[in-house]
Amino acid sequence: MQIVQDIATLRDIIGEVKKKGLSIGLVPTMGFLHEGHLSLMRAAKAENDFLVVSIFVNPLQFGQGEDYEEYPRDLARDQELAAAVGCDLIFAPPVKEMYPRGYATFVEVERLTTVLCGSSRPGHFRGVTTVVAKLFNLVSPTHAYFGQKDAQQAFVLQKMVEDLNMNLELVIRPTVREADGLAMSSRNKYLTSAQRKEATVLFKSLNKAAGEIEKGERDPEKLKEKIAQEISAARGARLEYIEIVDTSELRPVSTVAGSCLIAIAVKFDQTRLIDNIVVGV
Q: How far is 214 from 281, CA to CA, in rounded Å?
A: 8
Task: Provide, rounded to whole angstroms, the least separation between the CB of residue 194 and a second copy.
Answer: 42
Sign of the Cα pseudo-torsion (276, 78, 38, 55, in order): positive
Q: Is 37 a catalytic residue?
A: yes
Task: Provide, rounded to whole angstroms, the least separation between the CB of residue 86 and a second copy.
Answer: 26
Q: Are 13 and 91 in contact (CB under 8 A)?
A: no
Nearer to a second copy, 109 or 256 (CB): 109
- 13 Cβ neighbours under 8 A, 6+ residues apart: 2, 4, 89
Which among 34, 37, 124, 143 is annotated as catalytic?
37
Number of residues that make up the chain: 281
Beta carbons within 10 angstroms of residue 144's beta carbon: 26
- What is the 8-class DSSP label of residue 252? B
Q: What is the DSSP string of 205-218?
A: HHHHHHHHHHTT--
Nearer to a second copy, 25 or 93 (CB): 93
Nearer to a second copy, 163 or 214 (CB): 163
Given the rule CB under 8 A, which residues bind a second copy?
A: 7, 11, 102-112, 129-130, 133-134, 137-138, 140, 159-160, 163-167, 249
Nearer to a second copy, 137 or 193 (CB): 137
- 250 Cβ neighbours under 8 A, 6+ residues apart: 111, 112, 115, 116, 152, 155, 261
Task: Provide, rounded to whole angstroms, the least separation between the CB of residue 104 and a second copy.
Answer: 5
User: How far are the Cα atoms of 117, 132, 142, 150 from residue 157, in angstroms, in the given order?
Assistant: 14, 8, 15, 11
- What is the 8-class DSSP label of residue 59? G
Task: Provide, rounded to whole angstroms, the least separation between the CB of residue 105 and a second copy.
Answer: 3
Q: Are 112 and 250 in contact (CB under 8 A)?
A: yes
- What is the 8-class DSSP label of residue 255? S
Task: Provide, rounded to whole angstroms, the least separation between the CB of residue 108 and a second copy.
Answer: 5
Nearer to a second copy, 101 or 215 (CB): 101
Q: Which residues are catalytic?
A: 37
